[in-house]
């Protein structure tokens, strides 16, 4: 499609906006529903009316990040098992099943009504090879045959040597084993994400959901995994919230939990495994342990999970932390709510597909008017872009870091009414989760996808109606709506259009491909403040290669194990968005591997 064709799409855009009645009716219900009914609880606290109220807000903020002290063992236990597992996401599932298969009694606690947690929102098991499927096609990265030492060197070099090399080596060895074990023990039908040997770098559950939808993509697999866990003998207790560790002397021996029948004490005779995620939803913890990252985070994509409670329990038991100032963020998240200093919970909206409209090579600037680079997922004629099909797609997290590190932690995106056709046709040839998805009516799995999620334009219109994306008749008006200084956006658009007319980008570095130079001139105009789309925190309890939690003096806290993302350090220190691609196994894969490794260590300790 040439530029002239692109500029003729205004009529189609107007037709799209004529459907606004449907979008407005859906906006309140769908966004709240997608967030698991948690948005009311996640809304920022009201500004303090006086000094006393401000003091109370500050105290509540500090309390939300405070350690949770352990409690003493009761005279008698309400429930007993060999191992108590807290959290039913990826790590909870693999850990519980592996332990049960080793002959141990296992109780898995989940505070929500359904299993899966944050892992249900992810879809890909990112890896560097070493498993059977990769070996069959002779693929591994950075070298084949698969070499854990090469993996450690590659990953730790990217993360400035801040990862514990022995822990990273254990991950590199056991990660591929986890993939094969899940296929064998849990009947997981792994499939490559794309054709060719390098497609092995991202595995997904074959038939998990329509390929056109990427919201809560693992919900269906978790329904199956839950039944698998039960069949293997795991006792799953939903609506059961862990409140505190139970300690006897210096050893963790159980969990105090809130159940539908009141508070109960669960005895873990051999171990307690914490694998309930990180602290994405806990703004107070983000401010305390990942302050640089928080500055650029604008949205959490996986509510209502991960409030950091298990990490706070570990801190109460004397645990150390690792992975300070490290998170996993994608690019192009729009700012839904204004900043509130003492809001204890993060803003959270599951509206991922709507973000595709802003995650394209439009005009991107910071608040000074300086152009911001755009890193492609599909490659370009320019050498700075990732064009090697064998490597991981790092542009998503790298772009997240670019947008998060701008002045004020925000990047400003601007485009015009041609966006619908350009995104719909994937004119910019983006890949992975930057493609506008429309699920065809004849898709055999369409019933698994709520109606509003079947077309990326629906979710985009929700953002417009909510004011997260600004829609204006003039650039001057858009500039004001975005809160930019007078003349900043006007000048940026003028310079952009001159470059488009010349057919050559005018910035000295990170130049756009000439075909990306689409002039901005067809109203209405659209803009948004964008930044990091937080998927996972990488700061958590310090562990050793046996997944045992370590205290501040470097000693093991007996009886206590942690899986990622309750454990920290997988991405090293000061990793603002999660390079490479959120770490060695992404986020979903990392959860699975953490539970698998912890279970293996518990089994070995009993041998």
The answer to whether 574 touches 292, Cβ cutoff 8 Å, is yes
What share of the chain in percent tops pLDDT 90? Answer: 64
- Indicate if 415 and 520 belong to the same structural domain: yes
Average pLDDT over residues 255-265: 98
Which pLDDT band holds residue 459 (cuts at 50, 70, 90)?
confident
- Indicate if 294 and 419 belong to the same structural domain: no
Q: How many angstroms separate the CA atoms of 443 and 126, rounded?
A: 26
Name the strand (E) or helix (H) holding 493: helix 488-502
- Indicate if 320 and 412 belong to the same structural domain: no
- Indicate if 499 and 586 belong to the same structural domain: no
- Indicate if 274 and 383 belong to the same structural domain: no
Window from 79-83, 86-90, 340-344, 354-358 with minimum mean pLDDT: 340-344
The answer to whether 277 touches 534, Cβ cutoff 8 Å, is no
Model-level pTM? 0.89
Q: Is residue 55 assigned to a domain?
A: no
Which pLDDT band holds residue 14 (cuts at 50, 70, 90)?
very low
Q: How does DSSP classify residue 311? A: H
Average pLDDT over residues 462-490: 97
Of residues 588 and 178, more confidently modeled: 178
Of residues 425 and 378, more confidently modeled: 425
Q: Is residue 447 assigned to a domain?
A: yes
- Indicate if 363 and 217 belong to the same structural domain: no
Which pLDDT band holds residue 581 (cuts at 50, 70, 90)?
low
Residue at a domain's end among 511, 534, 557: 534
CATH code assigned at 483: 3.90.700.10
Q: How many angstroms separate the CA atoms of 343 and 333, rounded?
A: 19
Q: Is residue 428 assigned to a domain?
A: yes
- Indicate if 225 and 257 belong to the same structural domain: yes
- Indicate if 159 and 108 belong to the same structural domain: yes
pLDDT digits (tens, 9 = 90+) for 45-79: 334 445 676 888 899 999 999 999 999 999 999 99
**pLDDT exceeds cutoff 70 at 38:** no
Q: Is residue 63 assigned to a domain?
A: no
- Indicate if 368 and 285 belong to the same structural domain: no
Look at the chain and report how many structural domains it folds into: 2
CATH code assigned at 197: 3.50.50.60
What share of the chain in percent tops pLDDT 70? Answer: 86
Question: What does the pLDDT read at residue 379?
Answer: 55
Q: Is residue 8 assigned to a domain?
A: no
- Neighbouring CB atoms inside 10 A of 488's CB total 18
**pLDDT exceeds cutoff 70 at 404:** yes
Domain span including residue 404: 330-534
- Indicate if 268 and 339 belong to the same structural domain: no
Q: Is residue 395 assigned to a domain?
A: yes
Q: Is residue 24 assigned to a domain?
A: no
Residue at a domain's end among 487, 502, 534: 534
**pLDDT exceeds cutoff 60 at 443:** yes
146: alpha, beta or left? (left if phi > 0; alpha if psi -120 to 50): beta
Q: Is residue 50 assigned to a domain?
A: no
- Indicate if 280 and 298 belong to the same structural domain: yes
Window from 247-251, 257-261, 345-349 with minimum mean pLDDT: 345-349
- Indicate if 396 and 514 belong to the same structural domain: yes
Q: How many angstroms separate the CA atoms of 466 and 112, rounded?
A: 28
* C-alpha distances in Å from residue 210, one per residue of 26, 110, 216, 361, 442: 22, 27, 11, 27, 11
Mean pLDDT across the chain: 86
**pLDDT exceeds cutoff 70 at 24:** no
pLDDT digits (tens, 9 = 90+) for 499-533: 999 999 999 988 999 999 999 999 999 999 999 99
Question: What does the pLDDT read at residue 6?
Answer: 45
Tokens 């803009």 — which residue? 527
Residue at a domain's end among 471, 499, 534: 534
């Amino acid at each position: 499609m040439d530029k002239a064709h692109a500029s003729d799409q205004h009529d189609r855009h107007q037709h799209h906006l004529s459907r606004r009645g449907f979008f407005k009716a859906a906006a309140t219900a769908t966004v709240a529903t997608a967030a698991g009914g948690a948005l009311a609880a996640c809304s920022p606290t009201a500004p303090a009316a006086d000094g006393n109220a401000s003091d109370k807000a500050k105290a509540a903020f500090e309390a939300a990040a405070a350690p949770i002290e352990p409690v003493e063992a009761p005279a008698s236990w309400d429930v007993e098992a060999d191992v108590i597992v807290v959290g039913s996401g990826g790590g909870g599932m693999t850990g519980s099943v592996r332990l049960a298969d080793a002959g141990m009694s296992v109780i898995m606690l989940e505070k929500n009504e359904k299993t899966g947690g944050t892992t249900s929102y992810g879809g890909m098991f990112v890896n560097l090879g070493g498993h059977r499927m990769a070996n069959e096609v002779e693929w591994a990265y950075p070298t084949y045959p698969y070499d854990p030492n090469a993996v450690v060197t590659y990953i730790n070099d990217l993360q400035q040597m801040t990862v514990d090399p022995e822990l990273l080596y254990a991950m590199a060895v056991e990660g591929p084993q986890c993939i094969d074990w899940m296929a064998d023990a849990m009947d997981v039908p792994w499939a490559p994400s794309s054709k060719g040997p390098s497609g092995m770098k991202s595995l997904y559950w074959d038939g998990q959901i329509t390929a056109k939808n990427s919201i809560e993509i693992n919900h269906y697999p978790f329904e199956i995994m839950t039944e698998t866990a039960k069949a293997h003998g795991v006792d799953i207790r939903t609506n059961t919230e862990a409140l505190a560790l139970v300690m006897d002397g210096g050893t963790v021996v159980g969990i105090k939990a809130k159940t539908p029948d009141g508070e109960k004490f669960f005895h873990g005779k051999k171990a307690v495994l914490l694998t309930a995620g990180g602290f994405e939803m806990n703004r107070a913890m983000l401010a305390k342990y990942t302050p640089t990252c928080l500055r650029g985070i604008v949205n959490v994509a996986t509510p209502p999970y991960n409030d950091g409670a298990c990490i706070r329990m570990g801190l109460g038991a004397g645990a150390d932390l690792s992975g300070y100032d490290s998170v996993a963020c994608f690019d192009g998240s729009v700012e839904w709510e204004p900043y509130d200093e003492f809001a204890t919970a993060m803003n959270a909206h599951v509206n991922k597909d709507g973000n595709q409209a802003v995650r394209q090579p439009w005009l991107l600037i910071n608040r000074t008017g300086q152009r911001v680079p755009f890193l492609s997922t599909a490659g370009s004629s320019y050498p700075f872009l990732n064009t090697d099909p064998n490597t991981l797609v790092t542009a998503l997290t790298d772009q997240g870091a670019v947008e998060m590190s701008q002045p004020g932690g925000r990047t400003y995106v601007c485009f015009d009414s041609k966006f619908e056709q350009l995104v719909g046709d994937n004119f910019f040839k983006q890949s992975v989760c930057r493609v506008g998805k429309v699920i065809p009516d004849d898709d055999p799995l369409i019933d698994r996808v709520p109606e509003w999620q079947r077309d990326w334009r629906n979710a985009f219109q929700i953002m417009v109606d909510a004011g997260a994306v600004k829609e204006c008749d003039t650039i001057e008006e858009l500039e004001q709506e975005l809160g930019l200084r007078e003349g900043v956006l006007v000048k940026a658009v003028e310079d952009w259009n001159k470059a488009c007319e010349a057919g050559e980008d005018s910035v000295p570095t990170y130049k756009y491909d000439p075909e990306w130079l689409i002039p901005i001139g067809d109203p209405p105009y659209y803009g948004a403040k964008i930044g990091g789309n937080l998927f996972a925190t990488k700061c958590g309890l310090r562990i050793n290669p046996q997944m045992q939690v370590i205290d501040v003096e470097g000693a093991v806290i007996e009886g206590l194990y942690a899986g990622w993302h309750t454990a920290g350090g997988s991405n090293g220190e000061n990793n603002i968005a999660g390079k490479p691609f959120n770490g060695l196994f992404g986020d979903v894969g990392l959860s699975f591997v953490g539970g698998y490794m912890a279970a293996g260590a518990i089994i070995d300790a009993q041998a």
